[in-house]
Structure 1
Amino acid sequence: MVEPERTARAPRRTARGEATRARILQAAVDLMTVKGVAATTLDEVRAASGTSKSQLYHHFDDKAALVQGVIDRQAEDVFARQEVLLKRLNSIRGLERWRDAIVQRNTLRNGAYGCPLGSMASELSDRNERARSALAVHFETWEGLIAQGLERMRAAGELRQDADPQRLAIGLIGALQGGYLLAQTQQDSTPMKVALDMAIDCIRAYQA
């Protein structure tokens, strides 16, 4: 009789272990945001997080694993800020509130550092397939949240039936990423607002 395979379980972390892991991740996020992924070393992360080499390697096997953790952490932060607005999106005014929240946050940094996910995608997508794949999933989730809101608008008669929520969502994300880049190079969030306004105007053209 063949015994069924047993699924390996990941070891459960203690509250102290979770806190250490979170501290390492936050240090990596901060360093990689400012310096970039390639220029950030594990020794710098260890020093910034106040952890030992054994602690760092206990939670992350190597730099690639740490980068994956940073990508997921950045995605969590982005969606935590935007999900409330996007899950209630059902009008043009709702789109404008979403735009205002993003532009205001970008203004606080004078456009510096760009999009948390977009900046990593720009640096990693052509060099790290695992990172590219993870980032693509997060961008699909982001587009999906917007598309669902636009679909609600279409179902409610806010948008015409010939409006394509998926295509409009991709266009809106494209305008947002371009806006992040222009704001970063000019250290001014005005270009971001212009790009988003134009994308929202395109959606407004489909109003019933």
Structure 2
Amino acid sequence: MKKANVFFCVFLSVCFGSRAVAQTSELKHELRFQISDGIPLAVINGITMSLTDAFSSSFSDYKIKRTGESPMPLVYGLGYRYHVTPRFNVGLDLGYMQFKADYELKKEGDVQEGTRKTNFVLILPSAEYAYMSKRKVRLYGNASAGVTTLSGTSSVGAAANNDKDYSSTVFAFQINPIGVRYGERFGGFAELGFGFKGFLSLGFSARL
């Protein structure tokens, strides 16, 4: 009798567990929100937008000194995934980061304040494969390739004619060979890799 009860309990566990996995696999759509460290974009910003690039056209004879800047910015992202199979999905990631720096421009007795704001927008189509997919734990890797648009303004004082706008669009990518998600319909995830979003991403996702 005890063996029969044990067998019955195991049978129910397998049935309900399989049903839970099946229900999760039937949820084709997934929405994601994530935050990434943004270190590569910060480095790109520092290299491509030097002090002389920001103000040289109108203030080349000024001594330019950086007086402050935003702390290490983060990339805020939204993503969508369509689960083609239980292990493979495709989708789109959008990311945004803003970098701001303040300057002092000095020439003899003339001292002015300048500001530079740069906005990065990432548009990355993505593909993802899960090499382990359990009811609550999913291990995966993904790769994305697309573009990032860079746009910003360098301004000095309050005069509008001192504003200098700039913009550019370049190729962007992100490769995360290690990703883990914990949860069923709602879960948290972490990704390690390299690319324009950074090296570490943390986020929350919902399957619908």
TM-score of the aligned structures, taking structure 1 as reference length: 0.25
- Higher strand fraction: Structure 1 or Structure 2? 2
Task: Determine which structure has more spread, i.e. the larger CA radius of gyration.
Answer: 2
- Higher helix fraction: Structure 1 or Structure 2? 1
TM-score of the aligned structures, taking structure 2 as reference length: 0.25
